A = this chain, B = another copy of it.
Amino acid sequence: MSKLIEPRTVSGFRDYAPNVMIPRERILQTARNVYRSFGFTPIDTPAAESLDVLLGKGGDESDKLVYRVRGAKQEREEMGLRFDLTVPFARFAAKNINDLGTPFKRYAMGPVWRGERPGQGRYREFWQCDFDTIGTTANASDTEVVLVVNELFAALEIPRVEIRVNSRLILNGLLESLGIADKAVPLLRSLDKLQKIGREKVIEEMVREAGVSASQASQVLALAETSGTNEDVLRTVSELFAGVDNKSATDGIRRLMELLAVAAKTGVPEGRIKIDLSIARGLDYYTGLIFETFLLDLPAIGSVCSGGRYDNLASLYTKQVLPGVGGSLGVDRLLAAMEELKHPWLTGATTPAAVLILQLDADLLGEYQQIAKTLRDAGIATEVYPDTKKLGQQFQYAEKRGYRIGVIAGGSEMATGTVKVKDLTAKQETTVPRAELAAVVQKLLAGPS
């Protein structure tokens, strides 16, 4: 016999076993349902894109992250694996927007790949789950993004979240009024480090890297540090710009106010949305609304759903201007958080079915599958154990996998048209007529697990 091949995964890649995959599919299905409920439509793009599409203008960080792909018979790589779903969407939009028309609302879900150093909870393959509206600058779309996030976490049964919103328009306005609008890039890069290195070091870095005065840096920082209730923050900022007549800032404030008003009207609970002017994220990309979503019971894990408004999605590929706004759910980070929070979806069960029909007699297989079909037709996922092993072994199998109910039927049950139903959680067994089985099981499953 020849040597065995070690069945390992490549470093930074991983398998999803059933106990993780079951809640993961539930998360994806929940996101899909929520996105669809708002009229976002699915699209899909290939895992691999040509390198020039992926790397864009090149020379940036992404170049080092992108996995190269070549056919076995090719000499050189001409394509690479996508590192996010935004670049492929930009390429897709440039190619297809004339057919699709605007506004265009899409969601996309799938794996992305980054050749980064793997580590605790950091993998080279992970899923993204994005939704975007392009082709309109309407604040209705910004507002909707936040409503989607709110509904998403309600549907995920994680209501204790805080959606922190900000607008790049406000900071831009301040920079304009200070005459340092051209320093936005290095200033925001420094501001992004506020939590990590503290205000003094941020000011030092702004002076050093952006070439602004300490006073200018302090004012940028003061804006970011504006705190209090949403009303407090909006009042403070409105006062700050009262005498300045800065269009950008006025717009930003108005849009956030409208967003809060519509959200309140639509029943988003008080406190769910929080204006946080310190949020800086992804400077080169975002131009208006920006947001991050934190779990109140596990804020340290970072934002689990982020996004914002951008001026022009597809400018690398088309002259058509495609403004957009959207968000991205970090599926794998969320899953890790749910594990830590002992979320009820992570039951540890390794079966998606609730009922196991035990096999007492191979000659009764037709009966067992008939019983199973009755249950399946009633919407109850049901497995028939494939072998006539000892009942103890079959029960062990059922319990290890997390089946809730066992159904037992031998010759005497067949003769009387009954089955035994065993509640594997409560360890209780009852005999019921076959015609009543589905109703009995449904009632048991509606009870506590």
* Residues of A bordering B, CB below 8 Å: 2, 4-10, 13-18, 21-22, 24-25, 29, 32, 36-50, 52-53, 56-57, 63-74, 77-79, 81, 90-92, 94-96, 99-101, 103, 105-106, 111, 113, 115, 125, 133, 136, 138, 140-141, 143-144, 147, 151, 258, 261-262, 264-267, 314, 316-319, 350-353, 356, 359, 362, 365-367, 369-370, 372-373, 376, 381-387, 397, 400-401
A48 surroundings in chain B (CB, below 8 A): 10, 13, 67, 113, 125
A143 surroundings in chain B (CB, below 8 A): 365, 369
Residue pair B7, A100 in contact (C-beta under 8 Å): no
Shortest A270–chain B CB gap in Å is 15
- Kindly state the separation between the CA atoms of A111 and B151 in the bound complex, as whole angstroms: 30
Shortest A356–chain B CB gap in Å is 7
Smallest CB gap from A317: residue in B: B7
- Kindly state the separation between the CA atoms of A57 and B24 in the bound complex, as whole angstroms: 34
Residue pair A38, B350 in contact (C-beta under 8 Å): no
Shortest A360–chain B CB gap in Å is 12
Shortest A423–chain B CB gap in Å is 18
15 A-B Cβ contacts within 8 A?
Answer: A5-B52, A6-B317, A13-B48, A15-B92, A18-B106, A38-B353, A38-B376, A41-B350, A67-B70, A67-B71, A68-B71, A74-B115, A101-B397, A144-B384, A144-B386
A78 surroundings in chain B (CB, below 8 A): 10
- Kindly state the separation between the CA atoms of A22 and B106 in the bound complex, as whole angstroms: 11
- Kindly state the separation between the CA atoms of A386 and B138 in the bound complex, as whole angstroms: 6
Set B45, B66, B314: member contacting A72, Cβ < 8 A = B66
Residue pair B39, A365 in contact (C-beta under 8 Å): no
Residue pair A365, B262 in contact (C-beta under 8 Å): yes
Set B7, B96, B138, B376: member contacting A53, Cβ < 8 A = B7
- Kindly state the separation between the CA atoms of A141 and B46 in the bound complex, as whole angstroms: 35
5 new A-B contacts at CB < 8 Å, known A4-B317, A67-B70: A5-B52, A15-B96, A21-B41, A24-B44, A64-B73
Residue pair B39, A351 in contact (C-beta under 8 Å): yes
Assuming the contacts A42-B25, A369-B265, A400-B101, asked whether A10 and B387 have C-beta atoms less than 8 A apart, the reply is no
Assuming the contacts A151-B376, A318-B4, asked whether A14 and B46 have C-beta atoms less than 8 A apart, the reply is yes
Q: Which 5 A-B pairs have the closest CB atoms?
A: A39-B383, A265-B366, A71-B115, A13-B46, A39-B353
Residue pair A46, B352 in contact (C-beta under 8 Å): no
Residue pair B101, A38 in contact (C-beta under 8 Å): no
A385 surroundings in chain B (CB, below 8 A): 103
- Kindly state the separation between the CA atoms of A91 and B8 in the bound complex, as whole angstroms: 7
- Kindly state the separation between the CA atoms of A92 and B15 in the bound complex, as whole angstroms: 7
